[in-house]
Chain A
Amino acid sequence: MQDKIIQTVGLAKRFGEFEAVGGIDLEVFRGEIFTLLGPNGAGKTTTLRMLMGVLQPTGGTARIDGLDCFREREKVMTRVGYLPEEPIFYDYLRGREIINFVGEMHGLSEADIAAASEPLMERLKLDDALDEYAVNYSRGMKKKLALVCALMHDPALLMLDEPTAGMDPYATREVHELMQQRTERGHTVLFSTHLLDQAEKLCDRAGILFKGKLAAVGQLDELRQNLSEDSSLEEIYFSLTQDGVEDNIPENLSK
């Protein structure tokens, strides 16, 4: 029985009258790449924010490594690295200074920071622009910077919100390789995306979120059971996320 690193039970978030996330039971096992799919407004970012302790769930619990994400956020953050969809940094700090700041806040020494960040920056081709104020970076560069910040303390779990949106193909390939290397070392990766072909290539398990509920979760083979042997993830996705389908989610698919 695999070890769970993320476990949510009935996790829900309500904004006023609107139910963004309506009670999901999500499990992510250690050492796997899990992808969260769903149309716009399905609740992916809200779920990730609840896992990061930024939002307080209005129902249910979210736990990472057995620790409550909201109440014990400080302890959780030692094990988690996060890449938001639109990272925004302090206006007048240079890229290098931001990396040093983040490293210091995670308790790394100067040597550790250099050792952890330099190879990453070279890989992502960021080292050229480090003396530039972060506010002048393009969107892709900001994401690369945020990725370096997220990986510096070698977290057991890496959570990425639409990681490759806005990145050029080289960077995209690097990010994918990074994700796979992390799991080879026993770490876990959770990412949300729209890009079904990327997800299909990379993930071990997938969860399809639709209107705040988990329409389906499991390995690709399990997800295919309802359609045909060789359906692509795209076909599965479309069949599960049409309007009106959420009332007829088969029991064995959504757990």
Chain B
Amino acid sequence: MTSRPPTGIRAMVILIRMSLRRRSNRLRKGFSFAFGKKRKGTSPAKRTATPRKSGRRSLISVLALGFLFVASGTMIWSMLLTNLCRHISAQAETSVAQNEAGEPTADASGAKSKEVIPPWEIYRLWPSDSREDRLIGILGFVLFLLVFSTLCVDLGIRNVDLGKAEWDMEWLSSLPVSTHLLFAAKLAEYAVTSPFLWMFILPFLIAMFVAAGFAFWSILLAFSTAIVIALILAALRLLIETWVKKKVSKPLTKTIQAGITVIGISLFWGTWLANSQPRILAFLVRASDYMPAPALWAPWVAPVMLCRAGAWVWAPTAAIILGGAAIFIAAIAGSSRLVRDGLIVAGGAYVGTRSRSAKSPRPRWIKQRFKGLIGKDLTLLFRDRNILVQITVLPALLFAYQLLARPMLFESTRVDFRSASALAFGMGAFVLMTGVTATATPEFKSMWLLFTFPMKLRRAMEARVRLWGVIAGGICFIVLAIVFIKAPTIGADAFLRAGLALAGIFIYSRVAVALCVMYADPFESDPQQRIRPEMVMLFMLLAGMYAVVIYAPTVYASISALFLSILLAYSIWQAALDRMRLILDPVVQPRHKIGLIDGLVAAYIFFFIQGLAGIAFHAANTVPSAKSLIMIYSFAAFFATLLTAYFFFRVKVPNLLETIGLRSSGENRVRWPKALAKGLFWGLLAAVFAVFYLNLIELSPMLQELKKQSLQLFSNETERQIGWLALLMLVAAPLFEEYIFRGLVFRGMRRTSRPVVAIVGSAVVFAMAHPAISALPVFGLGIAAAIAFERSGLLIAPIAAHVTYNAAVLAAQMAGKA
């Protein structure tokens, strides 16, 4: 009985279904069910789809994230449309005043020019008649730029396939299905997986149609045109890819890829910046005049013509559909024709030389100076043109764009060093992000080699941190140097901000490597997915938070924010170290051990709840009494304690009670009375220091002012409420605070640091959690409590210390008042 291979639609359906199933397996949580029940006494149930530890992404979160992206993208593009509409209306008016820079100022409606208009109202600004033609022309140009840059990006660095020797088409072509169908299926796959298109072009289309007045139809219209554009892009990509694979040698391919990526990203970035930078918008408008009118009929640009008021709809629609179909068919036919004599790929991969050679061809300067891990990383870096372009040319482009957008950066009489430092840091962070992920991705298959070396795996991580810290730091330094040279005046503040930027790079190089390890999936076959995209988003978020450090108003605020950043980096690093040992194990998750990150989360919950309460009071326009403040404080601490304790219990932290200090551990089996005594002793020491400090306050006017500010809340308390105060300050605060700051923060740090580091670190966090006036004595308490905890191993010791301290301070203050 002969079987006939599927043809036509059926074959396409099978191919597409396989591709979709691959994706859905990756997204699905949990197992598929085993067939039949387990029988007793025999071997375990048949192998089911073992869920890998990194494979659990929920479909819902992906969709939610996607929706968020599209929505925010639409908002941003709406700004462009608003500005364009205004610009055109303004230009059409002959009597427009212009400033020296040549930018049009007030439009016909006068004062309303700076008003922010929501996307669904832009249609009111939509011009009519000949001005509408101009707008359509400009929009067509923008869409053309976007599509072109997306094509470049899709073919460029992201496209790992292009430079590889193997190609999954070779495997698929062993199936009895015609080449046309294989290419069609591949094209469909490409259409779905172009992130730039769905993240940027789709929102643009939505914004455009909404602005043109299509209201709710915009979504449908945008989606359908996006699908057509997606297919066109995929078709072009397929054709170009096939041609390059067949005709172009590998080294040349890599160079072309690098060049295309640069072009694509710079075009895209320029278009994106037009949203917010008027100069770039004006430039774009002028450039669009050079686009010939017939170009508007190209199927990937034609959607803009649908926005024209009037009965023009059928012509552009026909252009889009017919043109799109023509390109689609041409690409498939073209690709099939290119491979009709076989799928042999041009050249091999990078070809070295096969000969007996005594001299090592590695660049001499690398060979002599750098050995081991850093030497290997450097050698690989210098041989990969793609990554080199990403970390040199692209940052330079970014810098050039910033200068183009804001030439005032250097020429003002007073350079804003905060912005300059932030820019320098941003560029360094960009290099970190791209460099670390790009060099990590090809490493995973060779990671087994690291396991055979007699060294701890963290050394590989440290080498990476050092290398990229220097590279990104170098770029940051160059930018800072340029700013310093061109700035007319340089003050102490400039050096501070510059120093903060550089420090940030060194901190974040650690964060980048740690996040790579945390989000790595070495077993993923698609190289693009080996480091999950969440890593990039999280890194961008965290790097954005560093802006707080650079822009902080006072030096004290900067330093404390800097310290928090260091702690954050430390906690992420700790978590990554835990994971690194098991990185090649497909199933085992490291058992959660209490680390600094748990302390930081607990502290965060603690502050967050107090912050919420503060907002509530503010909204209700009431000033909270000391009693309610202290109650909220205690509740927040209690809640943070409960939540974290429950979490630890659920994930079965090993030795939970010993780590927190509720039970004494083996080596120093101290009984609780002795621990209590130690605590009292150290608490007294800290109290003595505090009382001394209290007296010191009287002598310093600055500190007195601070004290007045923080004691304002206590000034009108009655006797009864002081009772409450005492109760909570002597019981609740010590109990929960010690759990968080000693049990979690201190112990979390102690797991991977020397005692000194952990003691001082936890004390600083503790001090920062209290008002500025009491920072110093609270720091003393933090040190004392941590020492007591370290010496005794039981939480009762620091609790006793804290109670002693609070009692002493309370007594001193009451005595002072009386």
Q: Residues of A at under 8 Å CB distance from B?
A: 14-19, 49, 52-56, 58, 70, 73-75, 77-78, 80-82, 84, 87-94, 96-97, 100-102, 104-107, 127-133, 135-136, 149-150, 211, 246-247
Determine how close the nearest CB of chain A comes to the CB of B754; give it in whole angstroms: 20
Would A129 and B354 be within 8 Å (CB), given that A52-B451, A52-B452, A89-B446 are in contact? yes
A135 to B380, CA, bound (A): 13
Would A101 and B455 be within 8 Å (CB), given that A56-B588, A92-B383, A131-B357 are in contact? no
Residues of B within 8 A of A129 (CB): 354
Determine how close the nearest CB of chain A comes to the CB of B84; give it in whole angstroms: 46
Of B43-51, B240-248, B676-684, B788-796, the stretch lying at the interface with chain A is: B43-51
B51 touches A94 (CB 8 A): no
Residues of B within 8 A of A97 (CB): 360, 362, 376, 379
A96 touches B360 (CB 8 A): yes
Residue of B nearest to A88 (CB): B445
A53 touches B451 (CB 8 A): yes
CB of B373 closer than 8 Å to a CB of A: yes
Of B70-78, B121-129, B578-586, B688-696, the stretch lying at the interface with chain A is: B578-586
Within 8 A of A (CB), among B352-407: 352-357, 360-362, 371-373, 375-376, 379-380, 383-384
B47 touches A54 (CB 8 A): no
Residue of A nearest to B47 (CB): A18
| 8 Å CB contact of A106 from B45, B360, B383, B453 | B453
A51 to B384, CA, bound (A): 35
A246 touches B48 (CB 8 A): no
- Sampled A-B contacts (20; CB under 8 Å): A16-B31, A17-B44, A18-B44, A18-B48, A52-B452, A56-B585, A81-B452, A90-B442, A92-B380, A93-B379, A94-B352, A101-B376, A104-B375, A107-B454, A128-B356, A131-B352, A133-B350, A136-B350, A150-B452, A211-B43
| 8 Å CB contact of B454 from A18, A78, A87, A211 | A78
A81 to B454, CA, bound (A): 11
Residues of A within 8 A of B554 (CB): none
Within 8 A of A (CB), among B560-596: 581-582, 584-588
Determine how close the nearest CB of chain B comes to the CB of A174; give it in whole angstroms: 20
A101 touches B41 (CB 8 A): no
A17 touches B453 (CB 8 A): no
A123 to B453, CA, bound (A): 24
Determine how close the nearest CB of chain B comes to the CB of A213; give it in whole angstroms: 9
A70 to B372, CA, bound (A): 23
A16 touches B587 (CB 8 A): yes
A104 to B354, CA, bound (A): 24
Residues of A within 8 A of B34 (CB): 17
Q: In the complex, given contacts A53-B451, A133-B351, what are 18 additional A-B residue pairs having Cβ atoms less than 8 angstroms apart?
A: A16-B31, A17-B31, A17-B45, A17-B47, A19-B43, A54-B448, A55-B585, A56-B582, A75-B454, A88-B445, A89-B446, A92-B350, A104-B372, A105-B454, A128-B355, A132-B352, A133-B350, A135-B350
| 8 Å CB contact of B584 from A55, A92, A107, A133 | A55
Residues of B within 8 A of A101 (CB): 372, 375-376
Q: Is the interface of B mostly helix, strand, loop or mixed?
A: loop
CB of B611 closer than 8 Å to a CB of A: no
B588 touches A58 (CB 8 A): yes
A73 to B383, CA, bound (A): 32
A75 to B586, CA, bound (A): 24
Q: Residues of B at under 8 Å CB distance from A?
A: 31, 34, 41-45, 47-48, 50-51, 348-357, 360-362, 371-373, 375-376, 379-380, 383-384, 442-443, 445-446, 448-449, 451-456, 581-582, 584-588
A221 to B162, CA, bound (A): 56
A88 to B444, CA, bound (A): 10
Residues of A within 8 A of B376 (CB): 90, 93, 97, 101
A88 to B351, CA, bound (A): 17
Question: Closest 6 CB pairs between A and B?
Answer: A16-B50, A92-B383, A77-B454, A78-B454, A88-B445, A105-B453
A58 to B446, CA, bound (A): 25
A188 to B443, CA, bound (A): 31
A132 to B355, CA, bound (A): 9
Residue of B nearest to A102 (CB): B449
A136 to B250, CA, bound (A): 13
Determine how close the nearest CB of chain A comes to the CB of B167; give it in whole angstroms: 15
A49 to B587, CA, bound (A): 14
Residues of B within 8 A of A14 (CB): 587
A167 to B723, CA, bound (A): 85
Determine how close the nearest CB of chain A comes to the CB of B189; give it in whole angstroms: 25
Residues of B within 8 A of A75 (CB): 454
B354 touches A246 (CB 8 A): no
Residues of B within 8 A of A17 (CB): 31, 34, 44-45, 47-48, 50
A73 touches B451 (CB 8 A): yes
A109 to B591, CA, bound (A): 39
B372 touches A105 (CB 8 A): yes
B380 touches A90 (CB 8 A): yes
A77 to B454, CA, bound (A): 5
Residues of A within 8 A of B586 (CB): 15
A129 to B356, CA, bound (A): 8
Residue of A nearest to B456 (CB): A74
**Which of B41, B350, B375, B453 has the most A CB atoms < 10 Å from its CB?**
B453
Determine how close the nearest CB of chain B comes to the CB of A114; give it in whole angstroms: 11
B349 touches A136 (CB 8 A): yes
A131 touches B361 (CB 8 A): yes
B353 touches A131 (CB 8 A): yes
Residues of A within 8 A of B349 (CB): 91, 133, 135-136
Residues of A within 8 A of B361 (CB): 94, 131
Would A54 and B585 be within 8 Å (CB), given that A15-B50, A105-B372 are in contact? yes
Residues of A within 8 A of B47 (CB): 17-18
Determine how close the nearest CB of chain A comes to the CB of B788; give it in whole angstroms: 31
A84 to B356, CA, bound (A): 27
Determine how close the nearest CB of chain A comes to the CB of B355; give it in whole angstroms: 6
Residue of B nearest to A73 (CB): B451
**Which of A75, A90, A129, A136 has the most B CB atoms < 10 Å from its CB?**
A90
Residues of B within 8 A of A80 (CB): 452
| 8 Å CB contact of A136 from B352, B360, B383, B587 | B352
A91 to B452, CA, bound (A): 19
B446 touches A74 (CB 8 A): no
Determine how close the nearest CB of chain A comes to the CB of B518; give it in whole angstroms: 18
A130 to B360, CA, bound (A): 10
Residues of A within 8 A of B348 (CB): 136
A105 to B375, CA, bound (A): 11
Residues of A within 8 A of B380 (CB): 90-93
Residue of A nearest to B377 (CB): A90
Determine how close the nearest CB of chain B comes to the CB of A214; give it in whole angstroms: 14
Residues of A within 8 A of B354 (CB): 128-129, 131-132
Residue of B nearest to A210 (CB): B43
Residues of A within 8 A of B351 (CB): 132-133, 136
Residue of A nearest to B372 (CB): A104
Residues of B within 8 A of A58 (CB): 588
**Which of B361, B371, B380, B452 has the most A CB atoms < 10 Å from its CB?**
B452
A77 to B457, CA, bound (A): 12
| 8 Å CB contact of B352 from A87, A133, A149 | A133
Would A100 and B360 be within 8 Å (CB), given that A90-B446, A132-B353 are in contact? yes
A19 touches B449 (CB 8 A): no
Would A92 and B585 be within 8 Å (CB), given that A54-B448, A106-B453 are in contact? no
A135 to B384, CA, bound (A): 14
Determine how close the nearest CB of chain B comes to the CB of A133; give it in whole angstroms: 5
A222 to B48, CA, bound (A): 37
